[in-house]
Structure 1
């Protein structure tokens, strides 16, 4: 079955290889010390096409998420990262790590590839991109860069692009254009995050590698550090994720996370319908996050919304979840969560949507459904609205994930 494309234009967004509630909570554990804490977060990945295109979601992911541990690290590697059944990036390696040393408190994320190639249209070799976000001596700063050993546009080598200036736009006949060394940083009242992308491919004309109108980010990194605070807000949300045993079949869709909040603004991340090859069809997905940190109160809320999911003959209606957490200056902590599922049907047979925490429904020969799967600690709550264990595929599909918490 060939995956369908939901949106023509695709945004490269932050993602993580979170398996489910249990592994999410491991990222947030730590002491409840009243001393000021730093928040560290970052990721690196090989390619990202956040839609129904083949191999939806990020590939070759390394990620640390909202931790107060200055020694956290993650790394990953893969022979090739594919987009639309073409091996675009080869021998890809990613890593991200936090630190607290003479350089300050911060995060560094790296991604490398032996080459990035689109047939005879484009060939980039010896590619490395990196970004760092730092808090030192009361100041926030960042660095980001990309270098190449070789750059060839069509049959022409372009040595002037081996160390391109930030956000260098180059026309590529037969494809459209690319942006090399896309870098930037954003300061907020709570901290700073920086990003770097080796190359963003913009397919503005018909070609055999990337569907026309689609954008693909190749080798993208992000690093984030918060200022010291009495309470740090944390959490994440995504629409769906599928894995078979420890193998990730489809990465988190519409993924959002935070270590800083959003300064009280609601941030929405949406994608169109997609197919998880051989597993499921997923309707439109969007997530939201809203959070802030202040001397009086820190609070955060995540939500997840999925239009529907089909697994073989199993059809699930709209699925939603939310999670919220807050802490006041007098030390009071609050948590809230919810989830809902519109309907469950196999063919013409309708099944009841069970209520309560971790309620289950077994549909013989098809799947086991777990509703409102919740993990809760004193300062953290995570909820999966629905977990589908597909018997015939030995595959678990998580739908409607939201989590929120405070540290400090």
Structure 2
């Protein structure tokens, strides 16, 4: 049996988050020389864009980075809110992988008894679904949304119960909506499809949704990768800081993958990072490069930092790299690299240690941990440097890279 995605992990949401890679590796199944498929997908009740408070994804069901064709998750909620308004009621989402006579694929669904924006818009019995499939060497997708009732203002519009894909409709007092938004993208690695029940665009002032906000209601995505010797995954970021369990600065220049980049190097750069009252980080960037096919799967993540200053502590350029691969004959490889140019405090130079998980204590300033590594047969991660700032009870991770393969 292939690896199972832990439900607590899946509940995190759509986007990969820091720590996901290592959790996946810990829950992955036994090695297999046979080609595997990569399954990913999600269903979301409501998601708002445009800076609205508490506008993140709600009622999320997701599977990600798994080769398990029985992976599934579901979620439901009485009401999904935007701007303290119950936009969608009795919301249910689910996503599941499959391997049957239809092929290998993923189906994601989302439904709501009704979607309502005051007296401006009322949709009932909304059901949206999308599927991505690989069968007999071919990739395909389907997506669609149906409605039991559509009312714009006080006027019922029966012609919109089964709308054409991406139907745009003006809604007086709100702006406009797009019904049955669907699409798909095919690549050398596989295909993903998406479907959204209704997207609300508030471009006039109203009392329900702040002007300038875009709200996707019943949002789904399904993705299947072509058969490969393994599925690649990993992540990288420049810095992250926290006090105990409280994150005071999230991962910067963050990148992740669940299927590679088709062998292309993707770079994410930042001019500088300022962690208020803690640290200043110079120009930095991360890269990712991965591929997966029936002969080999491999992925590399890197992190590069020009320099870091924490109070009187100055650290020169920091670089890290993580690599993982699997060949069709079942051979795995993992490796890491990291280096730090220099460490000084008030002009005094301290040695840069090269051992794994080695430490340096600078009295009254900080404890430094070098090459913080987690290694398994199919996964490796490295934090080039971890700075424990004594005076602030703050931990700063610099130069994180992780890479792994599933299958």
The aligned counterpart of 2:25 is 25
Q: Report deviation, 1:74.
A: 0.9
- CA distance in structure 2 between the partners assigned to 1:298 and 1:60 by the alignment: 33
> Structure 1 356/299 Cα, relative in aligned 2: closer, same or farther at 3 Å?
same
> What SS does structure 1 have at the residue aligned with 2:57?
strand
> What RMSD over aligned residues (CA atoms) do the two structures have, in Å?
5.6
| Distance change (3 Å), C-alpha of 1:198 and 1:332 | same
Larger RCO: 1 or 2 (CA < 8 Å, sep 6+) = 1
Q: Partner of 1:58: helix, strand, or coil?
A: coil
| Aligned positions, number | 387
In structure 2, the partner of 1:95 is 94
Q: Given the superposition, is the C-alpha separation of residues 108 and 34 from structure 1 closer, same or farther in structure 2, using an over 3 Å criterion? A: same
Match of 1:277 in 2: none
Verify the 8 A CA contact 2:124 2:150 in the aligned structure 1: yes
- Check conservation: 2:228, 2:296, Cα contact below 8 A: no
Distance 1:155 1:382 in 2: 57
Query: 1:357 and 1:82 mapped to 2: Cα distance?
Result: 48
Q: How far does residue 184 in structure 1 lie from its aligned partner after superposition?
A: 1.4
Pairing 1:162–2:161 present: yes
- C-alpha distance in 2, partners of 1:326/1:383? 16
Corresponding residue for residue 139 of structure 2: 140
Question: Residue 127 and residue 379 in structure 1: after superposition, are their counterparts in 2 closer, same or farther (change >3 A)?
Answer: same
When structure 1 is superposed on structure 2, of 60-69 and 151-160 the one drifting more is 151-160
Structure 1 contact 57–252 (Cα < 8 Å) conserved = no
Summarize deviations over 1:146-198 as a string: whole Å, max 9, x none. 11122222222212111111111112222222211111122222222111111
> What's the counterpart of residue 7 of structure 1?
none
Deviation of 1:47 after TM superposition, in Å, equals: 2.0
2:369, 2:74 → 1: CA distance? 31
TM-score by length of 1: 0.69
Question: Could you tell me how far apart the structure 1 residues matched to 2:148 and 2:304 are?
Answer: 43
Displacement, 1:110? 0.9
Which residue in the other structure is 1:189 paired with?
A: 188
Structure 1 CA distance, aligned partners of 2:251 and 2:172? 33
Distance 1:355 1:81, change over 3 A: farther
Counterpart contact for 1:303–1:321, Cα < 8 Å: yes
SS at match of 1:59: coil
Call closer, same or farther: CA 1:371–1:106 in 2, change over 3 Å. Answer: farther
Is the counterpart of residue 258 in structure 1 residue 258 in structure 2? yes
Residue 42 (structure 1) shift: 1.2
Following TM superposition, by how much is the alpha carbon of 1:336 offset from its aligned partner in structure 2, in angstroms?
Answer: 4.8
1:333-348, aligned counterparts within 5 Å? 333-336=332-335
The equivalent of 2:110 in structure 1 is 111
- Shift in Å, 1:200: 1.8
Match of 1:177 in 2: 176
Contact 1:16 1:252 in 2 (8 A): no
In 1: Cα distance, 2:25 partner to 2:106 partner: 21
